[in-house]
A = this chain, B = another copy of it.
Amino acid sequence: MATEFTGTGDPARSMALLWRTGEEGGPRPGPRAGLDVDRVVSAAVRLADAEGLAALSMRRVAAELDVGTMSLYTHVPGKGELVDLMLDGVLGELYPDDEVPAGGGWRDRLEAVARANWQFFLRHPWAVHLATGRPPLGPGLMRKYELELRAVDGLGLDEVEMDLLVSLVNGFVRGSVGGVHERSDAERATGTTEQQWWAATEPYLARVFDAERFPTAARVGPVAGEELQAAYAPERTFEFGLARLLDGIGVLVGGRSGPG
């Protein structure tokens, strides 16, 4: 499993690809292209969805398209840019009705943002592992940013607070969903299930664990383990965190726009 970087290539080329502003006048000399950016990107997304970011290699993508490996480089500068294009592309799937689905309140809207992102990361596990320090500033991300900002607009917050709030919710979801995929990724990578791993590990832990040194852990660990090792545990963690987070945001928003 690799954490890929976004924004590793020439910004001019990257932006041109993201916004599909490749100048193409009439027909040009050379053989008709059988391949194009979209075919490469969607093959890569299919592969990453199905087998994870670790399985995403230029050779595998090329094989999926029945094409030589180096042919990909005619359409995409390199793997970094390909990942940028993949991410911006799938971000466009969010909010199909072109708005954050919600009732009237900010809390409904932010909850909808969180749940939409949660579903998104479930569909595209590999997106969790992308470093977005230099995000792909393409149409997909721009649209997402716009729609999510609207969810916190008109609450009496200044621009910086709006941005921080959207980032806070997004960061929380990304972190929470990590827990889901770390389980399935680990199973794929090791070939053993969570239960098998725990069954193999627990006896050794019991042997070395000192309940006198760690009394609180001895009390909490088993209960929490029992409860949170179940299949629905990540959802549970997500719901708990989301409730706390929205409560906390409520303190800020409530204080800003008056009581109520």
Contacts and interface: CB of A to CB of B under 8 A. Distances in A.
Given A131-B186, A183-B133, A247 B241 contact: no
A149 B220 contact: yes
Count of identical protomers in the assembly: 2
Interface residues of A, number: 84
Interface stretch (A36-44, A56-64, A67-75, A196-204): A196-204
Given A146-B213, A163-B223, 6 more contacts: A149-B216, A163-B221, A164-B224, A168-B240, A171-B241, A244-B252
25 contacts: A1-B131, A3-B129, A5-B185, A5-B189, A7-B186, A7-B190, A7-B201, A15-B204, A15-B208, A131-B182, A133-B179, A134-B197, A137-B205, A145-B217, A158-B223, A159-B220, A159-B223, A164-B240, A164-B241, A171-B175, A171-B176, A243-B248, A246-B248, A247-B252, A248-B248
Interface of A: 1-5, 7-8, 11-12, 14-16, 19, 21, 129, 131-134, 137, 142-143, 145-146, 149-150, 153, 158-164, 167-168, 171-172, 174-176, 178-179, 181-183, 185-186, 189-190, 194, 197, 200-201, 204-205, 208-209, 213-217, 219-221, 223-224, 227-228, 236-237, 240-241, 243-252
